[in-house]
């Protein structure tokens, strides 16, 4: 049994094995209807302490396609609203013989804490913790890039927007580095850039005209207002003017560049509708790939195939 908590520290062969396993589920039609018996007799509990559409739904579909029993705990109507602690909620679910917890939480490190200190005997999959990591999102993004562009070694990739608060960006950067992307760029105003990004092996730009020049992949990010102090909220119209991906700014990139966004998208804030819905957008492919990638991660966790020690890389 292994957990899946972060991309940081994982090897290229392991990440490639996850992508290859996900591709095999795509090939066998698992993204549509086909079921496989890999998690038959197992119970997966989805514990989302923060809102979600894509991640929760695709984890549920993935677990069902793996033939698991699935329990979605509605946190807002659960006994946490009566003051029950996270630990007691988890111990209660463990007593129901759940085999896997899929956890989304606003606190960075929540999934690590659960895996290490609360229920180490239950497989824990991180479905997004605070600003820290969203490893399955990064892997479905890698699958989408690989499907459209092939090998990573020649690719220039730009990640645009609220890098500071983005767990997705952090996980993508770790994945892209491990998989050998030629160039990883981030483009953002200084107020939305974390320090020491260069140490993560990325090039930093503050202007779209320079940062998007000749890139193969553009990944737009949502402004994470829920994680910002209100005094520091950027003006949406100003942000859109400078960093929103419009048709005009898209022209800086390669003519065959693809446009990605982990969602939820805010039209007219970080992306123009005609770009989000345009022929170079692969945003809905990303959503679909969430099923196969989450099937891959859950089946590999349950079979002990996640060989790297996920608890060695702390939040």
Select the residue whose beta carbon is closest to ligand CP and give its number.
55
Question: Binder to ligand CP among 145, 262, 293, 302 (CB under 6 A)?
Answer: 262
Complex with ligand CP: residue 234 or 263, whichever CB lies closer: 263
Counting contacts by CB under 6 A, is residue 53 touching ligand CP? yes
Determine whether the annotation assigns residue 222 to a binding site. yes
Cα distance between residue 189 and residue 175, in whole Å: 23
For position 172 contacting ligand CP by CB under 6 A, the verdict is no
**54 is a site residue for ligand CP (CB under 6 A):** yes
Min dist CB 21 to ligand CP, Å, is 21
The answer on whether 249 is annotated among ligand-binding residues is no
Q: Is 195 annotated as a binding residue?
A: no
Q: Please, what is the minimum distance in Å from the beta carbon of residue 9 to ligand CP?
A: 22
- 67 scored as a contact of ligand CP (CB under 6 A): no
Label each residue of the chain as H, E or C. CCCECCCCCCCHHHHHHHHHHHHHHHHCCCCCCCCCCCCCCCEEEEEECCCCCHHHHHHHHHHHHCCCEEEEECHHHCHHHHCCCHHHHHHHHHHCCCCEEEEEECCCCHHHHHHHHHCCCCEEEEEEECCCECHHHHHHHHHHHHHHHCCHHHCEEEEECCCCCCHHHHHHHHHHHHCCCCEEEEECCHHHCCCCHHHHCCEEECCHHHHCCCCCEEEECCCCHHHCCHHHCCCHHHHHHHHCECHHHHCCCCCCCEEECCCCCCECCCECHHHHCCCCECHHHHHHHHHHHHHHHHHHHHCCCCCCCHHHCCC
Q: Applying CB under 6 A, which of residues 6, 46, 126, 137 lies at the interface with ligand CP?
A: 137
Choice between 205 and 262, CB closer to ligand CP? 262
Query: Does the annotation list 54 as a binding residue?
Result: yes
Min CB(148)–ligand CP separation in Å: 18
Stretch that binds ligand CP, among 63-71, 231-239, 262-270, 299-307 (CB under 6 A): 262-270
Is there a contact between 56 and 72 (Cβ–Cβ < 8 Å)? yes
Instruction: Write down the least CB distance from residue 309 to ligand CP, Å.
Output: 25
The answer to whether the annotation marks 170 as part of a ligand binding site is no
Length of the chain, in residues: 315
Q: Select 89 or 137, whichever has its Cβ closest to ligand CP.
A: 137
Considering the complex, state which of residue 234 and residue 262 has its C-beta at the smaller distance from ligand CP.
262
Q: How many residues bind ligand CP (CB under 6 A)?
A: 9
> Is 255 marked as a binding-site residue?
no
- In the bound state with ligand CP, the residue whose beta carbon lies nearer, of 286 and 299, is 286
Site residues (CB under 6 A) for ligand CP? Answer: 52-55, 128, 137, 262-264
- Residues within the annotated binding site for L-aspartate? 82, 167, 222
């Amino acid at each position: 049994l292994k957990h899946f908590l972060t991309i940081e520290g994982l090897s290229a062969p392991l990440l490639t094995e996850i992508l290859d396993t996900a591709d095999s589920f795509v090939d066998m039609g698992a993204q549509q209807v086909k079921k496989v018996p890999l998690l038959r007799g197992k119970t997966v509990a989805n514990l989302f302490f923060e809102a979600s559409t894509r991640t929760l739904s695709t984890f549920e579909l993935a677990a069902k396609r793996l033939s698991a029993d699935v329990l979605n705990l509605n946190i807002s109507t659960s006994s946490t609203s009566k003051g029950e602690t996270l630990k007691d909620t988890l111990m209660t679910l463990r007593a129901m013989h759940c085999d896997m917890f899929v956890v989304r939480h606003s606190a960075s490190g929540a999934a690590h804490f659960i895996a290490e200190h609360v229920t180490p005997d239950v497989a824990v999959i991180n479905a997004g913790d605070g600003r820290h990591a969203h490893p399955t999102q990064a892997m479905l993004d890698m699958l989408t890039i690989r499907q459209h562009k092939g090998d990573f070694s020649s690719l220039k990739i730009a990640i645009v927007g609220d890098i500071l608060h983005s767990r997705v960006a952090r996980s993508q950067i770790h994945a892209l580095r491990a998989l050998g992307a030629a160039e990883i760029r981030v483009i953002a105003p200084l107020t939305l850039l974390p320090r020491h990004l260069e140490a993560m092996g990325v090039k930093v730009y503050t202007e779209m005209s320079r940062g998007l020049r000749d890139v193969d992949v553009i990944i737009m990010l949502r402004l994470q207002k829920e994680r910002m102090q209100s005094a520091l909220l950027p003006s949406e119209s100003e942000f859109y003017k400078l960093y929103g991906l419009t048709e005009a700014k898209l022209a800086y990139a390669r003519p065959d560049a693809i446009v990605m966004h982990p969602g939820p998208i805010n039209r007219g804030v970080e992306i123009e509708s005609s770009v989000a819905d345009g022929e170079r957008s692969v945003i809905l492919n990303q959503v679909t790939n969430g099923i196969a990638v989450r099937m891959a991660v859950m089946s590999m966790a349950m079979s002990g195939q996640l060989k790297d020690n996920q608890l060695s890389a702390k939040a």
